[in-house]
Structure 1
Amino acid sequence: MDGSSYYIPAAAMGAAMAFKAPALLRGRRDPLLRSVGALLTLAGLVFLFAAPPTIAAVNRATGIRNVSAPIVYCLLSAFSASCLVLIINWRDGPSEVTRRLARRWILGYTVVGVTLIALFALGETPVERLRDLDTYYANTPYIREMIVLYLASLSVAGIAMNVMCWRWAAQVRGRLRAGLVIIALGSLFNIPYSAAKFTAVVARWHGADLDVLSTDVAPVLASVGAQFTAVGFCVPPACQRIGDTWHTWSTYRRLGPLWRELRPVAAPEERAVRISWWSPVELQVTQRESDIHDGMLSLYPYFDSALRSRAYDAAVAAGSSPGDAQAEADAAMVTAAVRAKAADPEGRVISSANTATVPGGSDASSVHGEGPRDLVRMSIALRESPVVAAARGGTGHADNGP
């Protein structure tokens, strides 16, 4: 019997869990991350155990006819509670209030799960039903109540989760809001799912046959909703990762002009560790920054603070902001120092320099600034600033390669 409509969303939840596994392991003490892990795990288990082939296997393994029903219903109750607990933790309210609300939902759905098991034990289900137990036993004492209880609890959870998701989404922006909206849409499918099941069960109570709503329509609704939910949980971290990677690559690329300017004096061939082109971009940015700093270190004896001051005044006069003017002045001093070192192949300036100070009164902070952001601004100035072009000797050209 084909269980693809169940196994596909189970696989989707498994993929979402695998996607978030590194973050879950790093933050296993974080209640929010634990809630995410519990939700994705339970959602996958629900679809795995609700698949007709799995139902048959579990019934056969235990020797109890239809024992899969209370198992699936209890998993659904646990999943419902995990959804609500996740949203409560996600909102990050006062810790005591958050814990109290979470405990209430967990306790409530624990009671539901215990009641489901008790009702199944009290009822009788002599005929194994793999796909239509809800409608086949809709009029059976205790089993009828078990079915109504699980559908009611699922409906309550779906409505509550939608309300909380939409309220929370109205207060945030960006990728978090997008993820919440998608999760809310996925949860919204719980309502027509329960409605289809309820309609088929009520029809049985009145002697009608609308089993198709329960056996064919409801599983499709649940599958679509689960896949929406999986996507919703993946959107915020995926967007965060893509944004971080794009920013890092942008930093690497924008550091290019300054790195190439200093390459003749940085001696990258002397590196103790070589970074391959396929290394993580974060390592490549770190290596490029290290090369730049090494190049600047070798240029200290050639730095001219008077030239830097003139370049700063010229940049301000041309309309640059103080921060941009500082980056242009540093870049002008660096490019002039590169040319001064090239004109001193015998290293006379270095040999006569006072190792305790940098000639012209420049110190490390005058070019290093506050970190990578300053290096990027210096690199941009090398490519675009006329002040830097003048310091090059009037060539007005900067290397614009990648």
Structure 2
Amino acid sequence: MDQGVNFYIPACALAVVLIVKFPALLRGWRVPMVRSVNLALALGGAALTFSAPPTIVVVNRLTGVSNFSAPLVYVILCASSCSFLVLIENWRADSRHQAATRRRVRRWIVAYGLVGAVIIGCFVLGEAPDERLSDFDTYYSSTPFIREMIASYLLAHCVAAGATTVLSWKWSLEISKETRKDSASTEVVCLRRGLVLLVIGFGMNLFWGIVKLTGAMSGSRQLNEGVAPVISLGALVLTTGCLIPVFGPPFIERVWRPWWAYRALNPLRRTVRPAKGVADQPALLELPWYAGPEQRLVHRVTSIQDWMLGLRPYFDDDVRERARRVAEGQGAPESEAAVLGLAAMVRTAAADRARGVKAGTERSNRAVGAYREAEAEYRDLAQRLSRALLLVPEPDAHRRTSAGA
């Protein structure tokens, strides 16, 4: 079983992905792209499973044919190579040229179907009586018909790996030219990163095929066995490259960004949160332990807004204005200086609330008006304030500045 770990682990990973995507497959079976993705994943997992030495032994025993696993694995590998070619063709297909895409897909399927037929025919005509679990290619590299069978599947694999590498690379270059990195959407960024991984994965497959072909033709068993882990690692890279464009955008939008924003609000939450026992402290709903990042972010933003309402009587517009002028005098841009002024005001207000000292009504009203204007201007004001709180000095420093002025 230890010999099959390198094959079974990535195969199990592919199986988990297929199970997760199965509902989407049922809903979108008529969509060529959906079928292509699932077929490529299924054939990739099957190739890894049937290439494992323990599986080879079981198949040979069940069929009663020595080395029956060899043509079976070769045919599955060719089908897997073809499925990735079809996947790339359907993935980058233009809606205006669907007929041309279908023609190319049919050609690839017919070509690799013929290769599969050649593999089966060569195995039937040849003789391979000695069971070989890991060195079949090198052991029978000089046997008539078996030699042609080995060369056929390796050449077909190399052609598919080379073609998919070139197609993925060209597509990634086209996307890079059409969109600037700083203005690209999440979908485009994930697609570009997925294509980079596909190029790496297909390149690893091409390297594996070339080395295997060289080892088989030269009869080098060491060369054949040394490159074995590359195919399983390449399968994981290819799977990741296929899944990033599919699952990457929703993960970023619904998990990563909400969680990042949630963590970024920590300084502001600690500043505006009232101490226990403070009068008029708003009652907050308890957050369930199973809450996701989006729900946690909404709860934190709501809590901060409620606490900020209780902090408004302590706002002091003089503190805000002084801190803003100091920031501008130090060369800060106008928008940054405005946020730094609000952050200094919030920190001072929190300190005054702890001592029970309220600002004057006029100064408080002006400060609330400035805060509302900033809320209307900056949609991410809470995060800006949270970052600015790490830069503003302690409240006593504002008062010393005021006294000096």
> Same fold judged by TM-score > 0.5?
yes
The CA deviation at 1:104 is 3.4
Q: Distance in 2 between matches of 1:22 and 1:297?
A: 48
Alignment partner of 1:292 out of 301, 304, 325: 304
* Change over 3 Å in CA distance of 1:303–1:176 after alignment to 2: same
- CA-to-aligned-CA distance 1:9-59 (integer Å, 9 cap, x gap): 323422542675687468655866765554443233223223344233223
Paired residues in the alignment total 366
- Asked if 1:264 corresponds to 2:267, the answer is no
Task: Give the secondary structure class of the aligned counterpart of 2:335.
Answer: helix
The CA deviation at 1:68 is 2.6
- 2:10 corresponds to: 13
Mapping for residues 293-372 of structure 1, pairs under 5 Å: 293-300=305-312, 303=315, 308=320, 312-313=324-325, 315-338=327-350, 359-360=365-366, 362=369, 365-366=372-373, 368-369=375-376
* Change over 3 Å in CA distance of 1:13–1:336 after alignment to 2: same
- 2:70 corresponds to: 69
Tell me the TM-score normalised to structure 1 length.
0.68
| Preserved contact between residue 140 and residue 147 of structure 2 (Cα < 8 Å) | no
| Preserved contact between residue 179 and residue 232 of structure 1 (Cα < 8 Å) | yes
Q: Distance in 1 between matches of 2:87 and 2:350?
A: 57
Alignment partner of 2:197 out of 141, 154, 179: 179
Q: Distance in 2 between matches of 1:371 and 1:378?
A: 11
- Asked if 1:196 corresponds to 2:215, the answer is yes
- Asked if 1:273 corresponds to 2:286, the answer is yes
Q: Distance in 1 between matches of 2:345 and 2:20?
A: 44
Alignment partner of 1:381 out of 388, 399, 404: 388
Q: Distance in 2 between matches of 1:395 and 1:38?
A: 69
Mapping for residues 1-400 of structure 1, pairs under 5 Å: 4=3, 7-14=4-11, 16-17=13-14, 20=17, 24=21, 28=25, 29=28, 35=36, 37-88=38-89, 92=92, 94-95=94-95, 96=98, 100-117=103-120, 120=123, 123=125, 125=127, 127=129, 129-131=131-133, 136=140, 139-140=143-144, 145-168=148-171, 175-176=193-194, 179-187=197-205, 188-197=207-216, 199=217, 210=219, 213=220, 217-231=223-237, 233-234=239-240, 237=244, 251-264=261-274, 270-274=283-287, 284-300=296-312, 303=315, 308=320, 312-313=324-325, 315-338=327-350, 359-360=365-366, 362=369, 365-366=372-373, 368-369=375-376, 373-385=380-392, 389=395, 393-394=399-400
- 2:187 corresponds to: none
| Preserved contact between residue 24 and residue 33 of structure 1 (Cα < 8 Å) | no
Q: Structure 1 stretches of 5 or more lacking a match? A: 201-209, 397-402
Letter in 2 for 1:380: R
Letter in 2 for 1:81: C
Q: Distance in 1 between matches of 2:224 and 2:54?
A: 18
* Change over 3 Å in CA distance of 1:219–1:370 after alignment to 2: farther
- CA-to-aligned-CA distance 1:52-97 (integer Å, 9 cap, x gap): 442332233234554433321210111111232344456x352436
| Preserved contact between residue 314 and residue 357 of structure 2 (Cα < 8 Å) | no
Letter in 2 for 1:225: I
Task: Give the secondary structure class of the aligned counterpart of 1:270.
Answer: coil
The CA deviation at 1:327 is 1.5
- CA-to-aligned-CA distance 1:167-224 (integer Å, 9 cap, x gap): 4566659855752453144122211212322x15xxxxxxxxx3xx3x6542442432
Tell me the TM-score normalised to structure 2 length.
0.68
* Change over 3 Å in CA distance of 1:362–1:391 after alignment to 2: farther
Q: Distance in 2 between matches of 1:310 and 1:377?
A: 19
* Change over 3 Å in CA distance of 1:320–1:99 after alignment to 2: farther
RMSD value, Cα: 4.7
| Preserved contact between residue 190 and residue 222 of structure 1 (Cα < 8 Å) | no
Letter in 2 for 1:316: E
Q: Distance in 1 between matches of 2:377 and 2:36?
A: 39
* Change over 3 Å in CA distance of 1:223–1:379 after alignment to 2: closer
Letter in 1 for 2:231: G
Task: Give the secondary structure class of the aligned counterpart of 2:167.
Answer: helix
Letter in 1 for 2:284: R
Q: Distance in 2 between matches of 1:279 and 1:85?
A: 40
